[in-house]
Chain A
Amino acid sequence: SQQGEEDPQALSIQEGENATMNCSYKTSINNLQWYRQNSGRGLVHLILIRSNEREKHSGRLRVTLDTSKKSSSLLITASRAADTASYFCAKMDTGRRALTFGSGTRLQVQP
């Protein structure tokens, strides 16, 4: 499969805790993106990190990319109940415009 692998598949934490999700892939990429999906809704873009970048921040989100290990992580700090959703990594292969999505992590933040 060309899809990336994500772990954990599910994560349950308390409000205020940090949540870390990991993504691995096998190909050469142009960029890697993270998306959020609330139940029954479309996906919403969170952050994009390019292959020549190692770390990126957006509000409470921190994304890292290690191209030598072909892996990325998404850290959500000080989680809130409203962060409850599924989170997907998506890679854009070199020379290609479409995204290949990983299997996703279901995050549950308990109030």
Chain B
Amino acid sequence: DAGVIQSPRHEVTEMGQEVTLRCKPISGHDYLFWYRQTMMRGLELLIYFNNNVPIDDSGMPEDRFSAKMPNASFSTLKIQPSEPRDSAVYFCASSGGLNEKLFFGSGTQLSVL
């Protein structure tokens, strides 16, 4: 298996622009997680899904952030409009069934200028 796949690997955008991050979880995994990592705040859970249904979105910073999982093999995290404070590394992770360990993607390095 190719593991969790995230795209793009790097994204540089200007303040006010829309940003869409993409994630393909490991096939067969029924949980998908979005995390954000910054030096100041560490690793923060943004949202997680079970069987494509959002379970907990309490970590989503504000209405500018939205996440979707239209099917078991794809999820998006959208920021609209983006702000410089959104600059961070965004990780997607997945896990499956009784196996509670998370498999992480390589992350998307987002820079908002």
A interface vs B, CB < 8 Å? 3, 30-31, 33, 35, 41-45, 48, 88, 90, 92, 96-104
Contact = CB atoms under 8 A, between A and B. Distances in A.
Contacts of B43: 43, 88, 101, 104
A48 B95 CA distance: 14
Contacts of B100: 30-31, 33, 48, 92, 97
Interface of B: 4, 31, 33, 35, 42-43, 45, 48, 50, 55-56, 91, 93, 95, 100-107
Contacts of B45: 98-100
A78 to B, nearest CB: 24
Given A45-B103, A97-B50, A98-B48, 15 more contacts: A30-B100, A33-B102, A41-B106, A42-B106, A43-B91, A43-B104, A48-B100, A48-B101, A90-B102, A97-B31, A98-B33, A98-B55, A99-B33, A101-B42, A104-B42
B107 A42 contact: yes
Contacts, number: 52
A45 to B, nearest CB: 4
A56 to B, nearest CB: 13
Contacts of B102: 33, 35, 43, 45, 90, 99
A45 B100 CA distance: 10
A48 to B, nearest CB: 6
A102 B90 CA distance: 17
B92 to A, nearest CB: 9
Contact of B104 (A44, A98, A100, A102): A44
